[in-house]
Amino acid sequence: MAGTVRAPAVTGRAEHLAGRAASAVRSPSAPGRVGASVARMDVTWDDSRRAFADAARWFVRTAALVGDRWSRPALGEWDVRALVGHTSRSLLTVETYLARPAMTVELASAGDYVRATRAVAADPAVAVRGRDAGAALGGDPAAAVAEIAARVLPLVESRDGTELLTTIAGGMRLADYLPTRTFELVVHTADLATALEAPLDVPATAAAQALGLVADLAVSDGLAGQVLLALTGRTGLPAGFSVL
């Protein structure tokens, strides 16, 4: 990273709401492409819920560092405001989808969800929704993000993970959907921290779950060898490589 900037003081409404958010949750296969979710993690609901909460709190803290840099370039065609808006949807979709109960399970894991939504994720409309979500955060985006987290975290805390919800890709259990939101929060908060030249201090719980999903996707798509060699310093990865 090029350097680190001193974080501006967090004051006023954003500080109050960030505090609310922080206190809301207690603290054998053939080679090549293989079946879905072979590397699926066994994570308890309590651990998954904590990982989501820790990722959300990191996002709130990082958004509070923006200060007056909302128009700074951040990721692709997004500025900081649009990136924060897109990332806030990782919280908002949990709230929205819980209000739309499903009748059956169509996607049995977080990895299944990512694979099922690849075409949607590549749609140019995603960039537009990010900008719209950023605009919807209003005049004090950091406070708005903290308020969303303070609302959504207790909602998740009150559930047991067995709830069926309707996602953009079909019916899922909350326990299977939530890790996808943790993953999005982790990756995009890392994007935000990079844009702000802030530390990449990913919470350990959230990092472990995000990396577990990456492992699931790499194994199921036959990319585990490339990833393992790269992560152990043997080789690099091709330009544009992604498990998404």
The secondary structure of 97-112 as a DSSP string is: HHTSB-SS-S--SHHH
* CB burial readout 194-218, b (16+ within 10 A) else e: ebbebeeebbebbbbbbebbbbbbb
- Residues constituting the chain: 244
pTM of the model: 0.83
Give the chain's domains with CATH numbers.
Answer: 41-220 (1.20.120.450)
| Residue 233, SS3 per DSSP | coil
- Give the percent of the chain with pLDDT over 90: 77
Query: Cα–Cα distance between 206 and 199 in angstroms, integer?
Result: 16
Average pLDDT, the chain: 87
Quote the pLDDT of residue 124: 82
Q: Residue 2 gets which letter from DSSP?
A: -
Other Cβ atoms closer than 10 A to 55: 29
pLDDT tens sequence across 81-137: 999 999 999 999 999 999 999 999 999 999 999 999 988 877 888 889 999 999 999
- Least Cα distance to 151 among 24, 47, 19 occurs for 24
Phi, psi of 219 (to 5 degrees): -70, -45
What average pLDDT score do residues 174-193 get?
98
Query: Cα–Cα distance between 51 and 47 in angstroms, integer?
Result: 6
Quote the pLDDT of residue 141: 98
Residue 196: both structure tokens together: 């702000």
Query: Cα–Cα distance between 221 and 14 in angstroms, integer?
Result: 42
Query: Cα–Cα distance between 87 and 180 in angstroms, integer?
Result: 12
Residue partners of 3: CB distance under 8 A and separation at least 6:
197
pLDDT at 144 exceeding the cut of 80: yes
Q: Give 149-197 as a DSSP string.
A: HHHHHHHHHT--S--EEEETTEEEEHHHHHHHHHHHHHHHHHHHHHHHT
Query: Cα–Cα distance between 148 and 95 in angstroms, integer?
Result: 10
pLDDT tens sequence across 165-178: 999 999 999 999 99
pLDDT at 27 exceeding the cut of 80: no
- Asked which of 52-56, 126-130, 189-193, 203-207 is least confident by mean pLDDT, the reply is 126-130
**Computed over its alpha carbons, how large is the radius of gyration of the chain?**
18
